[in-house]
A and B are shown apart, each in its own frame.
Chain A
Amino acid sequence: MSLDSILAINGLQVVIKNFPFLLEGAGLTLKITVLSVFFGMVLGLVAGLLKLSKSRILSFIATIYIDFFRGTPLFVQILLLYFGILPLIINTDKPFVAAVIACSLNCGAYTAEIVRAGIQAVDKGQMEAARSLGMNTGQAMAHVILPQAYKIVIPPLLNEFIAVLKDTSLVAVISAEELTMRGKLLYSTYFEAAWIWGTVAIMYFIMTKLLAILGDYIERRMATE
């Protein structure tokens, strides 16, 4: 097969011609991921701490939040938020906003469990020693417990971030034009399923791989610290 005959393959032509279109979608995927991970981390830290708090009410609220978002499909959460809840609260039909909110809430619930497990993995004697010196719970958390928990928490957190990146593909259902949605649009025009979805898959793979490499690097740096 000559180069010309390869380039003449229709699917390949479609992919090459529309590659910038897909790349833009991948950009939005990353944007949703980064924002969701950021808000998810903040939410997760708060919810994780609240779940461990001595206040029954706060702990109960955190538990409901965590259990709900872990116990229902993200797909359904996105639909519920976009079509059911957001219209009641704000006047926007921007799927991007709904996508970020849904993914953040979902990521926050998983992060909360990671945070909780990380804190509980720190030896109980650490909290007692801190308290015995006169620190209140907040001071003990900030100066003694969290600095130790974060090392335990980093590897599962990185896994969660990779999961978020992949899960953002679900927001295609509300037509947020991230990578998967762009793939769908191309497919409905050109019907080159193998070429289009193959390219989309490879693009996701490259993004998650890069995240994993970054994660390994962070982990190695922490280990030598």
Chain B
Amino acid sequence: MIKVIGLHKNFGKLEVLKGVDCHVASREVVCVIGPSGSGKSTLLRCVNQLEQATGGQIFVDGEEITSPKTDINKIRQQVGMVFQLFNLFPHKTTLENITLAPIKIKGVSRSEAEQVANELLRKVGLTDKSDVYPGQLSGGQKQRVAIARALAMQPKVMLFDEPTSSLDPEMVGEVLEVMKDLAHEGMTMMVVTHEMGFAREVGHRVLFMDEGIIMEEGTPAQIFDNPHNARTQSFLSKVI
């Protein structure tokens, strides 16, 4: 579903990604872990072109998105993204946050979009919050709305960039629960996370990133119980 080949990304002189190769198969959940500044967010942001790659290729569902000929807006409709800081639209209600893109981009009728939105709200456990503005939601609720908003475009892939990192500890669980359900339904997911429990339990594969490359990859059991790379070992000893 996602294929990244030799991805390079520079910010000016700073080389952040130094040749990343990875892939995510259909219905697979891949978790990306690694120290701060290693380029995890940048990798994810390149996959939906919020950052433009300096070199290399990225394919989403067979289409090369790094090619200038690709209609990036079309691709982005198929790639949902969930941000660390939610980025809900503060001037729109929960329901409007979810229906905005389907109505304006896909041309779905309002009633149909609202029906889908209500179903998604049920899925993330927020049926009673549909007419509330984001300002009145807790962090965990915001993030669940953000997930519903991304799902409303019926993406083929979901990208999560540390979706629980800015949440109070007691709210982390509710968001991870939603993501777990999503994984069990067979959604293709790429998740940057510091939640090692989630990566171990839900992830099919784990990528350990450091210094702009993927240092080690494997099943959760391989990475967490038997890491080969010294960097991986030292990182895991610090976070677990």
Which residues of A are interface residues toward B (Cβ below 8 A)? 123, 125-126, 128-136, 139, 143-144, 147-148
Contacts and interface: CB of A to CB of B under 8 A. Distances in A.
B87 A128 contact: yes
A148 B83 CA distance: 19
Contact of A128 (B50, B74, B91): B50
Contact of A133 (B76, B85, B90): B76
A123 B84 CA distance: 14
Given A128-B50, A128-B83, A135-B73, A147 B105 contact: no
A147 to B, nearest CB: 5
B91 A133 contact: no
A125 B88 CA distance: 9
B100 interface: yes
A129 B76 contact: no
Interface residues of B, number: 24
A126 B89 contact: yes
A133 B101 contact: yes
A129 B83 contact: yes
B50 A134 contact: no
Q: Classify the interface of chain A: helix, strand, loop or mixed.
A: helix
Nearest to A139: B104
A136 B77 CA distance: 11
A131 B80 CA distance: 10
B48 interface: yes
Contacts of A147: 91
B81 interface: yes
Given A143-B104, A147-B91, A132 B81 contact: yes
Contact of B100 (A128, A131, A143, A148): A143
Given A132-B79, A143-B100, 9 more contacts: A126-B87, A128-B83, A133-B76, A133-B101, A133-B149, A134-B76, A134-B101, A135-B73, A136-B73
Interface in B59-112: 73-74, 76-77, 79-81, 83, 85, 87-91, 100-101, 104-105
A123 B105 CA distance: 22
Given A128-B50, A128-B83, A129-B83, A135 B89 contact: no
Contacts of A144: 89, 100
Nearest to B75: A134
B148 interface: no
A30 B88 CA distance: 42
A102 B116 CA distance: 52
A90 B69 CA distance: 46
Contacts of A133: 76-77, 100-101, 105, 149-150, 153
Given A139-B104, A143-B104, A134 B87 contact: no
Nearest to A137: B73
B151 to A, nearest CB: 11
Contacts of B146: 129
Given A128-B50, A128-B83, A135 B104 contact: yes
Contact of B50 (A123, A132, A143): A132
A222 B199 CA distance: 45
Contacts of B153: 133-134
